[in-house]
Amino acid sequence: MVRAANRSLSVQIANAFHRAGNYDRHAAVQREVANALAAHIRTLDLPVDASVLEIGCGTGFLGEGLIGRMPFAHYWMTDIAPGMLDRARQRFEDIDKVELALLDGAAPNLDGPFDLICSSLAMQWMPDLGAAVARLRGLLSARGRLVFTTLAQGSFAEWRAAYGAAMPGTPDYPAPDDLRGLGLDVSIQTFAHSHDSAHDFLRALKAIGAGTPRPGYHPLPPATFREVMARFEADGARARYVVATCGTGAA
């Protein structure tokens, strides 16, 4: 039953991101986070013939910061959403040693080993983050590195606060100590984005494919939801992204 529910959620997420045709236009924070992660990865001691696997490549923000700026023998760019891969392919189809593949990062079907497995703001969509981390670590080479960013506790705090005692559709993101409990080195950085209104905030989430609610979420009655939006706007219509950069040391 749990496996079926996880599969259903994965399909919903894949469909949402597949339809996100205007992703690049609305994904300012995602691009900023990917650029910061790429800069961090470029400081790592990786072999010049590294084999790289990227989980949840989206339209290619992280790839732009790595491909051509670090040595590698082969770079697998993967995503669960065909539409995202199509847009990434437009960026990288003419680059040697880059291969794009449809893949569910929660159940990867590539054998490895990889010297680097990386991901920017995709791991928060894993139904079981701990299990996903364990599977990906199992694909690393002897001295391979797993490095990724994910949303952490405190993300969208303003939107959650506007709900008061009601349950919002945003997931419960992990606390930094929970991530460290998975055997990861963790650092935290906060990004903020201002919106014109609550409607603008919700449209932006939908435009980047991030509008899938948590399992079991029940929409509020329209009048109550309008009150939530009004409280969010009264507080400045700002959305906070608390980003955890997580990594393993050399194995």
| H-type alpha helices, the chain | 2-18, 23-26, 28-41, 61-66, 82-92, 129-137, 157-162, 176-180, 198-207, 222-234
The predicted-structure confidence for 196-211, as pLDDT tens digits, reads as follows: 899 888 888 777 655 6
Higher pLDDT, 193 or 4: 193
Q: What are phi and psi of 20, to 5 degrees?
A: -80, 70
The predicted-structure confidence for 47-102, as pLDDT tens digits, reads as follows: 989 999 999 999 899 999 999 888 899 999 999 988 888 888 888 878 889 999 99
At 2 the pLDDT is 40
Asked if 152 and 177 touch (Cβ cutoff 8 Å), the reply is no
Residue 242: pLDDT over 90: yes
The predicted-structure confidence for 141-154, as pLDDT tens digits, reads as follows: 999 999 999 999 99
Q: What is the pTM of this model?
A: 0.86
Q: Which domain holds residue 167?
A: 2-247
The predicted-structure confidence for 20-58, as pLDDT tens digits, reads as follows: 445 667 678 889 999 999 999 999 999 989 999 999 999
Higher pLDDT, 20 or 216: 216
Asked if 240 and 158 touch (Cβ cutoff 8 Å), the reply is yes
CA 11 – CA 4 distance, rounded (Å):
11
At 127 the pLDDT is 87
Query: Average pLDDT of 170-195?
Result: 93
Which tokens go with 102?
Answer: 């449809």
- Residue 113 sits in a domain whose CATH number is 3.40.50.150
Total structural domains within the chain:
1
At 166 the pLDDT is 87
